[in-house]
């Protein structure tokens, strides 16, 4: 036992190859499976540098267990085995013992499991049920075909929660940065640097990979409501401010909304921005209209509108070199040398960046 502890100390001070050679050169050393597995983790882990105060964050259900396990393993392999960041899991129902046990066994950092307060996953008292159902029926009977999640109440709860409540949860209060991860997504390339520290040291408040156009039929009144909210708060000048990101969401020539938004299933953000008075004042104004329920406002367009107007230029970063898939879309670096260096597994022909429904190229073109 003393030898095992001594060996652990020695291995921790060595890089991967040297540590493995040392193990090979110690004949007769009897290690249990648990000890050998632990030493292998030490050998292949980089030395712990100063990390950001950050966590992964996932909103999921118990039925997502095996999808999230595969995603955790992918994120471990591509990134977190080197950095061991925590992971916060939230659910509107209590997590099962099986979920907690298997996830705890898979994460590279500490896992924390939380329950969403009922009032944050319920219809507000001000919602007119009949009006909400009329809106749902309209989306489901659209002449061009039923709109995805058009009649889903749980989807509406989720969008509202992700827009204005997730960052208020007690489990996230200890952190400054979050990286949102959804069950079933994949990193398609290795991330060989600490992405949290990259944002922190670069003074970025928000990072994203993919940007898309929203379904106009799901948010017919969102922009007019947003503009009125800014006016009521006395900050309507933000929509024409050259020093923020309003040019990404509003056509400078016409002043009209262009439906571009950050795809929020991959995002890294500064939680203190979401906790700010300005962000929450705007969210509360929007939420009071019940647009999440009468229409089908998504968290992506809602948060993109707010962040694009309250953040100064230089605070949002498109992470163009991150290979990432959330079915059916993929961001894949076009540069072959980069894909080789980062051991990417994606086909560059599937990259969404320059597709007609992508706004990523537009963000780049504006030199934002």
Catalytically annotated residues = 267
d(CA 191, CA 330): 16
How many CB atoms neighbour CB 274 within 10 A?
A: 23
Are the beta carbons of 66 and 34 closer than 8 angstroms? no
d(CA 353, CA 278): 31
């Amino acid at each position: 036992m003393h030898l095992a502890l001594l060996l652990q100390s020695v291995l921790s001070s060595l890089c991967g190859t040297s540590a493995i050679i040392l193990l090979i050169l110690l004949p007769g050393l009897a290690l249990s499976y648990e000890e050998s597995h632990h030493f292998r983790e030490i050998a292949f882990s980089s030395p712990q540098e100063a990390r950001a105060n950050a966590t992964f964050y996932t909103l999921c259900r118990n039925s997502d267990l095996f999808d999230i396990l595969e995603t955790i393993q992918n994120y471990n392999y591509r990134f977190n085995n080197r950095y061991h960041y925590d992971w916060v899991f939230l659910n509107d129902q209590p997590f099962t013992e099986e979920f907690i046990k298997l996830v705890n066994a898979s994460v590279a950092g500490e896992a924390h499991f939380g329950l969403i307060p009922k009032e944050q996953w319920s219809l507000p008292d001000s919602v007119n049920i009949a009006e909400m159902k009329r809106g749902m029926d309209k989306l489901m009977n659209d002449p061009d075909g039923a709109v995805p999640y058009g009649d889903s109440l749980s989807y509406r709860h989720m969008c509202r929660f992700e827009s204005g409540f997730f960052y208020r949860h007690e489990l996230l209060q200890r952190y400054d940065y979050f990286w949102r991860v959804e069950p079933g997504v994949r990193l398609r390339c290795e991330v060989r640097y600490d992405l949290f520290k990259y944002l922190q040291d670069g003074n970025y408040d928000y990072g994203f990979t993919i940007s898309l156009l929203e379904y106009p039929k799901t948010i017919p009144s969102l922009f007019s409501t947003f503009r009125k909210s800014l006016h009521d708060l006395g900050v309507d000048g933000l929509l024409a401010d050259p020093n923020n990101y309003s040019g990404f969401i509003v056509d400078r020539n016409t002043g009209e909304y262009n439906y571009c938004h950050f795809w929020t299933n991959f995002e890294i953000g500064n939680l203190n921005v979401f906790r700010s008075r300005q962000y929450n004042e705007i969210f509360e104004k929007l939420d009071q209209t019940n647009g999440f329920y009468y229409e089908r406002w998504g968290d992506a367009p809602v948060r993109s509108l707010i962040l694009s107007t309250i953040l100064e230029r230089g605070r949002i970063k498109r992470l163009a070199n991150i290979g990432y898939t959330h079915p059916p879309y993929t961001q894949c670096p076009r540069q072959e040398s980069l894909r080789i260096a980062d051991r990417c597994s994606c086909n560059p022909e599937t990259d969404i960046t320059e597709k007609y429904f992508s706004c990523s190229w537009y963000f780049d073109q504006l030199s934002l």
